[in-house]
Amino acid sequence: MKRIESPEEIEKKQKRNKFIVGFAMIFLLLFSTAGYAFYSGNGLTNNQDSGFEQGQYVNGLWAYQMNGEVFYFLNDLETAKEIKVSLTSGLNNYYGKPLFIVSDNLIAESEISRNIGRYSSRIQKACYEKCELDLPEKTCDDNLIIYKESENNKVYQDKNCIFIEGNLASVDAFLYKIFGFY
């Protein structure tokens, strides 16, 4: 049988429990913030501290650094340089703006999203002009990237549309070019 407690004893227990919970929450907030600050990086943001080298092969991707940020690509820079890229726009066309992608290739979409997504306000799958899918229909007045698998690798631009044709090396050629790696 449980002992009957006075109102003072109940209030004292409640205060103690609130203090313990409050202290635990403060402890958790402080140390999770500190832990995030110390351990959230991937170790590849500072050339001198991490021994990072341009074109380093990391977990199946080629890593290149620019302005303190690391970008990952499926193909190395030398392979991408062999592909003809004709662009008039640069990365600033995507800052804070929505980007629409037309592609049946999830790897190509992922490659574009992983690298340009940090600058765009959002990335969304779309259709070029008319389509029967339940996707927004976009034109070259919108920031639109169209990837189409083809035997010939090339990248070209018409207004705000970027047409990437070929294999995934073409996607990387576009990305390397837009980030100014060549």
Domain boundaries, the chain: 1-40, 42-73, 83-179
Separation CA 131–CA 31 (nearest Å): 51
Separation CA 161–CA 165 (nearest Å): 13
Count each helix (H run) and each strand (E run) in the chain, helices first: 5, 11
Greater confidence (99 vs 2) lies with 99
Predicted confidence (pLDDT) at residue 175 exceeds the cutoff of 80: yes
Predicted confidence (pLDDT) at residue 38 exceeds the cutoff of 80: no
- Residue written as token pair 């919970």: 21
For the entire predicted model, the pTM comes to 0.70
Q: How confident is the model at residue 58 (pLDDT cuts 50, 70, 90)?
A: confident
Query: Helices (DSSP H) in 92-145: which residue ranges?
Result: 106-116
Greater confidence (30 vs 87) lies with 87
Separation CA 161–CA 139 (nearest Å): 8
Q: CA-based Rg of the chain, rounded to a whole angstrom?
A: 25
4-29 confidence digits (pLDDT tens):
888 898 899 899 989 888 888 887 77
Greater confidence (53 vs 61) lies with 61
Tokens of 11: 């209030």
Contact 171, 72 (CB under 8 A): no
Residue 97 has a CB neighbour count (10 Å cut-off) of 14
